[in-house]
Structure formats: C-alpha cells, structure tokens
C-alpha cells in the first residue's frame, strides 16, 4: 500500500509455478490451472482490499503465464504497467517456474519492475524462486531432512540472480 503513488494499488499475480510441463499444456489443463490461479488472484485482491486506505483502489491482475511461450507474448508483457506496485508469485513447482521464465522478456519485465520499486512476494515455490539459491532436488537418497548437509541438495538458478546482477 505504501508503494502506491496514484491511489490505485496495482498488483500482478503470476502463476508460473502452476504447470506440469514448462513447454506445453493441454487446453483443459490450461483452463483448470488458470481457474485455480484466478481464485488465488481473488484472494490477493481481498487481502489488498482489507488493508488499503479508503482513498485507495486495488487492481489485481492475473498474468496467464503457464508455459514458456506465454513469457514472450506481448499481451503478457503489457501487464507491467509503469506504476506497478507489486508482484505475487503463486506456489507450485519452482523448477517449472524457472523453466517457464528464465531469460525471457517476462523475466526481464519482472526485474525492471523490481528495480523501479515494485514489491515481490509469493508463497511456497513462489517465495523460493526469489531466493539467491533455490533447492530443486536432492542427491542420492537425501531428502528435505538432509537439506542443510553439504552436497545433499541440488541448488538451481532463481529469478533473484538476474535481479541482483542488474542492481
């Protein structure tokens, strides 16, 4: 709310973690995932409305980015309005998320919005992709209980790295 400068709190909800394959989806799966993501968008909107000031309006938009080709569509890039106040990355599969957006124009727009002051948040995998290192697997018979042991986990790239490098 504090980031808002024009009375409209502009938030972008990003479901890049929702797919089962970063490169293709069926129409049925796409519709199911976008319906679930829109429900989450409505929850973010309700949360925004619960804490905004009476003079503010919440505008919460779902970015329909489920597969990599979506991250190149101009209509999705245009969702980054100049005064974007925040981005919320939904939970799901963090490895899919990185395959969907890494090194795409959509990731570049996310980084630009971040550098212009947009707040980045998320839950579960949506939070994990914001960290410098992201656990995206384990070596051998190791699992989450061994995650802090050296060499037990496989760490992969995240969106935070391009955002940090550009700073």
Write the pLDDT tens digit of every residue in 51-88: 999 999 999 999 999 999 999 999 999 999 989 999 98
Residues in contact with 146: Cβ distance below 8 Å, sequence separation at least 6, in sequence order:
138, 152, 153
**If we measure between CA atoms, which residue out of 59, 125, 45 comes closest to residue 90?**
125
pLDDT in tens, 105-149: 999 999 899 899 898 887 766 656 665 555 566 667 766 676 666
Domain boundaries, the chain: 8-166
Cβ atoms of residues 153 and 134 within 8 Å? no
Choose the CATH number for 8-166 among 2.60.40, 1.10.3470, 3.40.50, 2.40.10.
3.40.50
- The sign of the torsion formed by the CA atoms of 102, 108, 114, 115 equals positive
Q: How far apart are CA 16 and CA 95, in angstroms?
A: 10
Give the global pTM.
0.78
Strand ranges (DSSP E) for 4-138?
8-14, 57-62, 86-89, 119-122, 134-138
pLDDT in tens, 9-46: 999 999 998 888 999 999 999 999 999 999 999 999 99
């Amino acid at each position: 709310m504090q980031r808002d400068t024009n009375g409209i709190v502009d938030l972008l909800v990003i479901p890049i973690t929702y797919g089962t394959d970063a490169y293709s989806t069926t129409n049925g799966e796409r519709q199911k995932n976008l319906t679930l993501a829109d429900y989450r968008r409505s929850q973010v909107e309700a949360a925004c409305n619960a804490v905004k000031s009476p003079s503010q309006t919440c505008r919460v938009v779902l970015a329909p980015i489920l597969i990599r080709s979506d991250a190149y569509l101009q209509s999705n890039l245009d969702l980054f309005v100049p005064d974007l106040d925040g981005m919320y990355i939904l939970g799901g599969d963090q490895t899919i998320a990185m395959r969907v957006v890494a090194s795409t124009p959509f990731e570049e727009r996310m980084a630009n919005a971040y550098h212009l002051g947009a707040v980045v948040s998320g839950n579960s995998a949506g939070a994990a992709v914001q960290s410098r290192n992201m656990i995206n697997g384990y070596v051998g018979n190791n699992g989450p209980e061994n995650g802090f042991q050296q060499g037990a986990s496989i760490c992969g790239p995240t969106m935070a790295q391009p955002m940090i490098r550009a700073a």
